[in-house]
Structures are given as structure tokens and as C-alpha cells.
Amino acid sequence: MLSEEERSEEERLLKKARELREDFRSLPLYQRYLALKKSHAEEVRIQNAEKEVDSLKKSLRFLSSEERKDVLEKAKAIQKSLDEEPLLVNEKSVQASLLALLAPLREAKL
């Protein structure tokens, strides 16, 4: 059982953690990330391409060597077009920037 002092300290830390979370969520960069993520989720063409890559990769184990080679080439081509998709490039860039902001907290193991 926690003492009154320990409970008070725990409540103080939880309050500070909530404040940090809210501060982070209010950052324009975080808002930009959410908007990009939403656009990504709503972009049917991108969703279909991602599903196709996943499906092709899952089918590999049932194919012969020659068929595998063709399917891998097709999956790589689709993945390359996804990697060059401006929306996804922006999303990954903003995500990397957000992770860089969080790095000091991770390093401190808070």
C-alpha cells in the first residue's frame, strides 16, 4: 500500500505526464502528422496498393521459384511507387521529426 506522500507524488507525476501529452498533441507538427495520417487512410489508391503489396508478399510461400521472382519484382515496383508517393513521403518526414522531439524522453527512459 502506498503512503500518502507516495500517492501524492504519483498523482503529481501523472498530472505532469498528462500535461506533457496535451502539450505534445497541441504542437502544429503533431496536428500536421494527424492530418497526413488521415489523408493516407482515406486515399483509396494508396490503400489498395499497400494491400496488394501485402497480398503479393503473403503469396510468395506458395509459389515456385520462377513465380516468386515475378511476384517479388511486381511487389517491389509497387512498393517503390509507394515510397515515392508525396503524401507518404511527407507523412514519414513529419513522423521522423516527431520522433526526434521525443528522443530526449526516450533516452532519459521516462
Q: What cell was used for 39? A: 489523408
Band (pLDDT 50/70/90 cuts) for residue 110 is: low
pTM: 0.79
- Per residue in 44-84, pLDDT (tens digit) is 999 999 999 999 999 998 899 899 999 999 999 999 999 99
Q: Domain of residue 92: give its range.
A: 4-108
Distance from CA of residue 52 to its chain's centroid? 19
For the domain that residue 36 is a member of, what is the CATH number? 1.20.1500
Count of domains in the chain? 1
**Whole-number Å distance between alpha carbons of 32 and 23:** 15
> 63: left (phi > 0), else alpha (psi -120 to 50), else beta?
beta
